[in-house]
Structure 1
Amino acid sequence: MKRPVAFRLHAAAAAMALAAGTGVVLSMPQASAATGGATGYATQNGGTTGGAGGQTVRATTGTQIHAALCGRATSSTPLIIQVEGTVNHANTAKVSGTSCNTADGVIELKQISNVTLVGVGAGAVFDQLGIHIRESSNIIIQNVTVKNVKKSGSPVSNGGDAIGMESGVRNVWVDHVTLEASGGESEGYDGLFDMKDDTKYVTLSYSILRNSGRGGLVGSSETELSNGFITYHHNLYDNIDSRAPLLRGGTAHMYNNHYRRINESGINSRAGAHAKVDNNYFEDSKDVLGTFYTTAAGYWQVSGNVFDNVTWSARTSDHNPAGPNPQSNTTVSIPYAFTLDSAGCVPDVVARTAGAAKGLLVSDGSCTPQTPSPTPTQTTPTPAPTQTTPTPGPTTPTPGPTQPGGTNLSIGAGSDGSSKADGTSYGNVRDGNLSTYWSPAGTTGSVSIKWGSATTVSSLAIREAAGATGAIGSWKVLNGDTGAVLTSGSGAGVITIPRTTLQKLTFQIVSSSGTPRVAEFETYAG
């Protein structure tokens, strides 16, 4: 019997900027995608944070996405692009600039870094138009649907892959996306999620891949073995003929995925690839693991998987299924921490969490029903085609209680900041004394509370020193670990944030009337 699943909520992007004409309007960052952070191999090699800490832009067309990339100061300036509506060939044109390299009819993330592309609310749709990542690093794609992308030579095409990576790509996290086709290669469709030519440190999580002849590959040929370190977890592969995925060399980790209606072959480990296959649920499928269509053997380590109505073909010289009783033929060491759901509850986990428009829900590994945390409020701007400046500053949150309940977690913690005025100290904001304070060297700046281990915070209180009441204007609260903005507003007082586990929380003063004096920066779990 399949058990229900516990799940929690990624903090999603909240504040918006307006699109104007074929360009975009930038605002100060209001929130970034998935403050919970990347998982799997995308956490290695320095980690994957996308555009965290950068400016935020709203885009409703492919041309506006390109314009946002080209409008950055440099090709590595952090940027969060929030996408809504449908992006297609008709509204996706090349835009030129020194910080971009774009093309008509395809979303081109080429020769860039530090970008988050996130669908707003129920997500964005890329219709018959794929996303290409080339010679780029530190990219996040989240909460989007990419559908019916045709191969080269089709009447409408951009190379065939729904999401494709190649040429020295590093650190990509693709999360809560839906990738789908309407047929196989003979109908003009290619891979849903492909990696080639030295692509490394990639995670695909909480996503749906369906109705395609080819789920995806790692490596374009038996001699193209420069790719690897890929994680696939909590994804649904549904009605896929093969390549779920195809691995040519390298290392991959598949855990807690639901494979349903794999029609010809599933995880195809070949040409020396090493696959760690943990706690997946394989259902109504054929030859879900092995080395297929080649004599160049691959390897696998299996543990905790469920094989429900899976059939296995006989072995031949170029067809080596792992079943009917799959056994490990190698060991694979995984360098990152991960928590496994029981394979028996994976169909429920994945059904509730995977794909775009699922609220960025994720599993907590317990397989027990749990109410998800509230989604941060999103405000949608009114379209203004002639708008040339950002909307007014952030709104002030609804006032909370005068004093949060529980223990002030700042007492005994550490602190730092961006600058401090003479005679003030960062430590003064956590000493419990309202007569001491921190001030920035100017009229704006930031101060942080730091802990030696992961700490859960859901509210904070900013207390101004006597004589400075009302000096603090607009502000942002940031996850100091990732740079993601948790909330924004104006004025001192009690501030509620999405319940977040972190080691550093930052209060950033964006504007003020005079020199702010922060006497206490209190933090609370409840």
Structure 2
Amino acid sequence: MKQNLFAPFLLALAPLGLALACGTSAPDGPGGIDSLAGGSGSTGATTGGAASGESSAAGSSVAGGDPSPGGTGGGGSASTSGGAGGGEPGAGSGGAGGDGAGGAGGAVDSEGCPLTLEGFASVSGEGQDGTYGGRDGETVTVTTQADLEKYAGAAEPYVIRVQGKIAMSPKGKEISVASNKTIVGVGATAEISQGGFFLGSGVHNVILRNLTIGDTFVEGDWEGKTQDFDGVQMDTAHHVWIDHCHFHHIGDGMIDSRKDTSYLTVSWSILSDHNKAFGIGWTENLTAQMTIHHNWLRDLNQRNPSTDNVLRAHLYNNWLQRIDSYGNYARGGTNMVLENSVFDTVNRPHYYDDGTLVAAGNIYRSTSGDKESSGSTVSFFDPSDFYEYSLDPADQVEALLTRCAGPRPELGL
């Protein structure tokens, strides 16, 4: 299995100095505030843009630039304002634009926490060249449900900064998100309370980032039978990146990747205190491809995730803690590669049906029940044939996720 051996470098952070009023928009440069993709590889100066909104020449693997040329430095702000240095040539770092989406091993925040897109959401397919969200549109800041609904559902691309807590009405309301959107929380306190998001058929190129989503739980309905209040529901969407979020106390499913949703990456998020965490499937087709990495799933019951009929499912560096019913379930014909994860006080850590489940490098502590696999070496697919990724040692996962999972104070600023 290939690993990225280049250590992440710490990018200098600088304030933007942009004042964006609630419900108003301000255009940014090609990299864009919170564009999360670094602009296209050719938009910036050779050594990185000195002003916000510019990007380094290498761009990012997501935005069409080749991360390997790198560039030798860069101005701007690493996580908030377009390009910031791409690292030395050959380092594989790429330019980090917006909230940082350079090549594998690229952008980090001031605590060394990675901010880079990895996985199937970065891979081209279905007419979409990776996932970069609203990079090419204007940036708006919202503090109300009305403005969030307006911009999330617009036909045009937008980077939507969510500031503070937005309490949804009625309870359980799922905001419809159209294609080419970035919805990012401003700092670590942005919250969608008593609601969530819905991505319908054909919706693509969406980034949901740095948000706390929860409080739709209905008292007395632990099994979620009286309503369908999800944190994020996707029905045959594609190219979606859910990153650095915290899901808790949801009415039904925290994340439901339904039907033939594909090219999905869920990363650096916390799913906690609930019954049904992360359900995948509701389809007879075997076409979906997704990556689930560096997530902390704790104090949960089922669907952690339940992964039904996924052609290629890559799970790595996740931490499952205090799981009652079951952990990683490769259901139906799913083919799963499960690497360097930690199972701590988990019943039935992992098992599979008719597909394959390669389990390698995992740590099991106080577990019981199934630890099934079809082997420990790659069989059906090798993730490194599709994208580069940074595989951390399993014995470092708990400390890393304690420090870095969930919303980050420097994102979305």
Q: Is the shorter-chain TM-score for this pair beyond 0.5, marking a shared fold? A: yes
- Contact 2:302/2:323 (<8 A) preserved: yes
User: Does residue 236 of structure 1 match 2:296?
Assistant: yes
Deviation at 1:13, TM superposition (A): 9.7
- Residues 326-348 of structure 1: CA distance to partner in whole angstroms, max 9, x if unpaired? 84484422111112110001000
Going by fraction, where is strand more abundant, 1 or 2? 1
Matches within 5 A, 1:80-479: 80-90=159-169, 105-109=173-177, 112-135=178-201, 136-150=203-217, 159-166=228-235, 168-181=236-249, 189-220=251-282, 224-226=284-286, 228-250=288-310, 251-291=312-352, 296-312=353-369, 321-323=370-372, 327-328=375-376, 330-334=379-383, 335-357=386-408, 359=410, 378=413
User: Does residue 25 of structure 1 match 2:85?
Assistant: no
- Contact 2:308/2:330 (<8 A) preserved: yes
- Contact 1:13/1:31 (<8 A) preserved: no
- Contact 1:16/1:57 (<8 A) preserved: no
Higher relative contact order (CA 8 A, sep 6+): 1
- Residues 462-486 of structure 1: CA distance to partner in whole angstroms, max 9, x if unpaired? xxxxxxxxxxxxxxxxxxxxxxxxx
- Contact 1:165/1:194 (<8 A) preserved: yes
Mapped partners of 1:143, 1:13: distance in 2: 18
Quickly say closer, same or farther: Cα 1:137–1:10, change in 2 above 3 A.
farther
SS of the residue corresponding to residue 261 of structure 1 reads strand
- Contact 1:51/1:80 (<8 A) preserved: yes
Moved over 4 A (4+): 5-14
Deviation at 1:290, TM superposition (A): 0.5
Mapped partners of 1:196, 1:347: distance in 2: 29
User: Does residue 48 of structure 1 match 2:115?
Assistant: no
What's the % identity of the aligned pairs?
A: 27
Mapped partners of 2:163, 2:284: distance in 1: 37
Deviation at 1:38, TM superposition (A): 2.2
Mapped partners of 1:61, 1:117: distance in 2: 13
Mapped partners of 1:358, 1:343: distance in 2: 26
One-letter amino acid of the counterpart of residue 147, structure 1: G
- Residues 313-362 of structure 1: CA distance to partner in whole angstroms, max 9, x if unpaired? xxxxxxxx235x984484422111112110001000111110013545xx
TM-score by length of 2: 0.69
SS of the residue corresponding to residue 311 of structure 1 reads coil
Deviation at 1:150, TM superposition (A): 4.3
- Contact 2:122/2:130 (<8 A) preserved: yes
Mapped partners of 1:158, 1:348: distance in 2: 36
Deviation at 1:158, TM superposition (A): 7.3
One-letter amino acid of the counterpart of residue 35, structure 1: G
Mapped partners of 1:55, 1:140: distance in 2: 15
SS of the residue corresponding to residue 397 of structure 2 reads helix
- Contact 1:6/1:349 (<8 A) preserved: no
SS of the residue corresponding to residue 341 of structure 1 reads coil
Quickly say closer, same or farther: Cα 1:26–1:180, change in 2 above 3 A.
same
Quickly say closer, same or farther: Cα 1:146–1:11, change in 2 above 3 A.
farther
- Contact 2:247/2:270 (<8 A) preserved: yes
Q: Alignment partner for residue 145 of structure 2, among 45, 48, 62? A: 62
| Alignment root-mean-square deviation, CA | 2.9
Mapped partners of 1:300, 1:12: distance in 2: 44
Mapped partners of 1:227, 1:132: distance in 2: 21
- Contact 1:106/1:158 (<8 A) preserved: no
TM-score by length of 1: 0.55
Deviation at 1:6, TM superposition (A): 7.6
One-letter amino acid of the counterpart of residue 332, structure 2: A
Quickly say closer, same or farther: Cα 1:105–1:193, change in 2 above 3 A.
closer
Gaps of 5+ in 1: 93-103, 183-188, 313-320, 361-375, 379-526
Quickly say closer, same or farther: Cα 1:18–1:359, change in 2 above 3 A.
closer
Quickly say closer, same or farther: Cα 1:132–1:158, change in 2 above 3 A.
farther
- Contact 2:191/2:212 (<8 A) preserved: yes
Mapped partners of 1:8, 1:260: distance in 2: 30
